[in-house]
Amino acid sequence: MIQTVPGRLLWREEIESETNAYVRAHMARFARLRETYVERWFPALSEAAVPAWCAELTAVERDVLIEERWRQTHKRPSLQLSAFDSVVERLERLVRLAQTQSPIGAAFLRLGSRAPLDSPQLRASSLQVDGGVEALDVLLDSQRVFEDLCLAQECDYLPSLVVRPWLEVPLRIELRAHLAGGEFAEVRPRYGTGGPSPDALIAMQRRLPALAAHFGSRRLRTDWIVGSEAWLVDVDVLDS
C-alpha cells in the first residue's frame, strides 16, 4: 500500500467502496491498461497523432491530488495552496503550449488514462481550460481523475498530465476503427451512421505502418480525426 502525504491519507482505508471497487477491478489488468495511456504511445506515434504535451506527475504530486479531492468531497479543510505549486506551474506551461496550436487559442486537459469529462467545471467551460489554476480545479472536480490516480497509486505508477490544443472539428470526421493483424477490420463514424469516405480510408491507411511498428499485430480500438490527413486521438488494446 502506498501512502500519500506522510502521516495522512491511506486511500484504501478511507475512500468509499465505489472507488475501491474500480481500483480492484482494474489492478489485475493494469499492465495492459497502461499501454492505452497517451504518455505510453504518443512518443512513438506523435507524427500520426493529434498534438499533445505530457508531463509525468511525481509520487508526491499524484498523492496530493488524491488527498485534496478526498478532503473536498468529505468537507475537510483543504491543503495549503503551496502544495500544488509544481502542478499548477506545469499545467500552465502545457496549456500555453497547446493554445499556440489551437485555431481558437484554447486547450483540452486530460490524464493519460482518461479525460475529466464528468467535471461540472469543465462542462461549464465547453471542455476548455485557459490556465494552470483552472486546470487544477478541473482535475480536482473529477471523480474519473480521482479513480485513475488511486489506481496509479496502488499500482505504483506515475501518471501523466496531458494537454492538447482545442480543435473545432465536425462530428462527421471523427472516426472509430478496429484493427486486427495490423489491418483495419472496421471503420465507422464515432457519432451517427454511415461509413468513411474513400479519401478518409486512404489517409488512415497511411498511418498503419506507424501503428504496426508500435503495437505489432495487437487487436486495437482506435479513435481518429480524419480530414486531408488522419490524426490518432485514442487507443485501446483489446487483447491481453
State yes or no: pLDDT of 8 exceeds 60. Answer: no
Lay out the sheet containing 160-165: strands in order across: 53-56, 160-165, 107-111
What per-residue confidence (pLDDT) applies to 97?
97
AA identity, residue 101: Q
4 domain residue, yes or no: no
86 domain residue, yes or no: yes
- 78 lies in the same domain as 193: no
pTM tops 0.85, yes or no? yes
d(CA 59, CA 30): 18
d(CA 155, CA 144): 17
State yes or no: pLDDT of 14 exceeds 60. Answer: no
How many separate domains does the chain show? 2
- DSSP for the chain, please give it: ---SSTTS--HHHHS-HHHHHHHHHHHTTHHHHGGGSHHHHHHHHGGGB---EEEEPPHHHHHHHHHHHHHHHTTPPPPPGGGGHHHHHHHHHHHHHHHHTSTTS-EEEEESS---TT-HHHHHTTT-B-SHHHHHHHHHT-HHHHHHHHHHHHTT---EEEEEE-----GGGEEEEEEETTEEEEEEESSSSS---HHHHHHHHTTHHHHHHHHTT--EEEEEEESSSEEEEEEEE---
What per-residue confidence (pLDDT) applies to 239?
76
What per-residue confidence (pLDDT) applies to 198?
93
- 204 lies in the same domain as 130: no
Write out pLDDT tens, residues 40-81. 999 999 999 999 999 999 999 999 999 999 999 888 899 999
Residue 12 pLDDT level (bands cut at 50, 70, 90): low
Q: Which domain holds residue 212?
A: 171-237
Cell 485555431, located at residue: 103
Q: What is the mean pLDDT of the chain?
A: 90
State yes or no: pLDDT of 17 exceeds 70. Answer: no
Nearest to 172, CA basis, from 198, 196, 154: 196
What is the separation, in whole angstroms, between the first and last Cα of the chain?
A: 25
What per-residue confidence (pLDDT) applies to 2?
37
- 80 lies in the same domain as 158: yes
What per-residue confidence (pLDDT) applies to 6?
45
CB 107 within 8 A of CB 95: yes
- 99 lies in the same domain as 178: no
156 domain residue, yes or no: yes
State yes or no: pLDDT of 3 exceeds 90. Answer: no
Where among 130, 165, 200 does a domain terminate?
165
Write out pLDDT tens, residues 84-137. 999 999 999 999 999 999 999 999 999 999 999 999 988 888 889 999 999 999
77 domain residue, yes or no: yes
What per-residue confidence (pLDDT) applies to 15?
57
d(CA 228, CA 230): 7
Write out pLDDT tens, residues 123-177. 888 889 999 999 999 999 999 999 999 999 999 999 999 999 999 889 889 999 9
